[in-house]
Structure 1
């Protein structure tokens, strides 16, 4: 076991660099090992790396069409997803509903 109290600041900083480098090397080694296992698994089933890449790239999400527009400025739209725009909050404060702003 290392007696950390007996090390100088310079030695501690070098130890820290060495540990960081060892952790990075370990992670890289594990990543390469996992990738090799995935490639072997795919090869056993007749798949190539290109097949796996194609599968993962098909999962793209299309942007949603706007459902609501600002009555005061129709160029401001909202899909109904995510945080409400300020103009929606202002319309709610005026007593309007989403149905009033529907496109």
Structure 2
């Protein structure tokens, strides 16, 4: 398919990028933090991805996720 597209583009004096356009790179905006470490306020977590160690430790010690919310 790519070879066919290149041949057609070349036949008309164009490149594949000129015909199809460049891929757009969309930037994902950062997700604001949802949780804060009570022992170190500089440590935050958005709630997405892997849980940080401080969050797991706090949960194991009986703190609720709700109590760690910002």
TM-score of the superposition, structure 2-length normalised? 0.69
5+ residue gaps in structure 1? 1-29, 41-47
| Residues 36, 80 of structure 1: alpha-carbon distance in 2 compared, 3 angstrom cutoff | same
The structure carrying a bigger helix percent of its residues is: 1
State the 4+ residue runs in structure 1 displaced beyond 6 angstroms.
none
Is 1:80 the equivalent of 2:47?
yes
CA shift for structure 1 position 69? 0.4
Which residue is equivalent to 2:21? 52
| Residues 34, 89 of structure 1: alpha-carbon distance in 2 compared, 3 angstrom cutoff | farther
Q: Distance in 1 between matches of 2:4 and 2:62?
A: 57
| Residues 99, 34 of structure 1: alpha-carbon distance in 2 compared, 3 angstrom cutoff | farther
Which residue is equivalent to 2:58? 91
Pick the structure with greater CA Rg. Answer: 1
- Larger RCO, structures 1/2 (Cα 8 Å, 6+ apart): 2
Q: Distance in 1 between matches of 2:39 and 2:61?
A: 13
5+ residue gaps in structure 2? 10-16
